[in-house]
Chain A
Amino acid sequence: QSVLTQPPSVSGAPGQRVTISCTGSSSNIGADYGVHWYQQLPGTAPKLLIYNNNNRPSGVPARFSGSKSGTSASLAITGLQAEDEADYYCQSYDSSLIGSRVFGGGTKLTVL
């Protein structure tokens, strides 16, 4: 059972907008620690997609955006493309666990 909760799967047609939710608690997302999102393409290492809730590293398309409110965060992908089909993970810090970084269980995005 992951500390952060994500839906197991989401899907959308090319060009559409999808969102992936990440629900935490008062000891992680709600404690104002940054939420980060990673994209993992099949057979590859995770790649940083969004950091500190809503910041994109250099090279990440503006189609990807993040937001946070209370104890939840969301990743939005607009203009869906076939190459976006991947697993997406949220991650944060949890103050109730010594030194602990926590991940969501991951969400499989299928482009129809």
Chain B
Amino acid sequence: QVQLVQSGAELKKPETSVMVSCQASGYTFTSFFIHWVRQAPGHGLEWMGILNPSGGSTSYAQKFQGRFTMTRDMSTSTAYMELSSLRSEDTAVYYCARAGGGTTGAAFDIWGQGTMVTVSS
């Protein structure tokens, strides 16, 4: 079945970096965009950026420009996000989500299970 499977929970110290993976299966990886969304404990959903697996192009939310990077490995149908210069406010569950590329602003129809990233000294 169509699914996105994310890597496991991470505990990181401030000022370090974290990388989270998101492996797609059950569909053609390059036919859909991948978005990253995070949710701090007790808070709502926050969009971080979009990756086009086909050409590798990206667009980032202004808030994360400069310390957030999205990449992909087409050979394994895996998308990656890396967030650097971590601070306590980055403690959150990070989700990858799939969206169709045919329409601007298409809905996120498939979500990964989420990866908890905890930033603490």
Contact = CB atoms under 8 A, between A and B. Distances in A.
Interface of A: 2, 33-34, 36, 38, 45-48, 51-52, 57, 87, 89, 91-93, 97-106
A102 B113 CA distance: 21
12 contacts: A33-B105, A34-B103, A34-B105, A34-B106, A45-B111, A47-B111, A52-B107, A57-B109, A91-B108, A93-B105, A97-B61, A99-B60
Interface residues of B, number: 25
A99 B44 contact: no
Contacts of B47: 100-103
Contact of B107 (A91, A98, A99, A102): A91
Contact of A34 (B60, B62, B107): B107
- For B47, B62, B111, the residue with the greatest tally of chain A CB atoms inside 10 Å of its CB is B47
B114 interface: yes
Contacts of A105: 44
A38 B61 contact: no
Nearest to B61: A100
A89 B107 CA distance: 12
Given A34-B106, A93-B105, A100-B61, 9 more contacts: A2-B44, A45-B114, A46-B108, A52-B107, A87-B44, A91-B108, A99-B49, A99-B60, A100-B62
B49 to A, nearest CB: 7
B50 interface: yes
B69 to A, nearest CB: 15
